[in-house]
Amino acid sequence: MKFKNTGAQKSTITRDVNDFVAKTDNIFKAVSVMAKRSAQVNEKMKDELMAKLQEFALTQEQLDEVFENQEQIAVSKFYESLPKPWAIAMKELLNDEIYMRDANSAEESAEDSNQDA
């Protein structure tokens, strides 16, 4: 995933609560959806960062020497400058880029079909 090109804000801005209510019919559901998506984005970011930093892993022999690795610092600064996962999740929700399914209604419809049989 291209985190740099998401178009999400890098700083906090004020949002209208009604925009979120319009998307999910419930502010609590909107917050829950954004929290779950934010956790997914955060996990992807973490995995990608750890994979890139793994290239700079030190062996036991190299631990005795203290030195700065400029490439590792550049990778870390790049990830620090990315939009935060919650900002990406918020943008995706407002732009209808998140697929939401209601587990409760799926269970209820399954129960209804079982009762009909």
**Quick one: which of 54, 53, 58, 57 has its CA closest to 72?**
53
Q: Is the pTM of this model over 0.75?
A: no
Q: Note whether residue 5 is domain-resident.
A: no
Q: Note whether residue 1 is domain-resident.
A: no
Amino acid letter, 12: T
Count up the domains in the chain and report the number.
1
69 neighbors 56 (Cβ within 8 angstroms): yes
pLDDT band at 27 (very low <50, low <70, confident <90, very high): very high
Residue 107, domain extent: 17-56+68-112
Q: Note whether residue 93 is domain-resident.
A: yes
Q: Note whether residue 104 is domain-resident.
A: yes
| Residues in CB range of 4: below 8 A, 6 or more apart | 82
Q: Note whether residue 47 is domain-resident.
A: yes
pLDDT of residue 114: 46
Note the pLDDT tens digit of each residue in 69-94.
778 888 888 888 888 899 999 999 99
Q: Note whether residue 7 is domain-resident.
A: no
Residue 54 has pLDDT above 90, yes or no: no
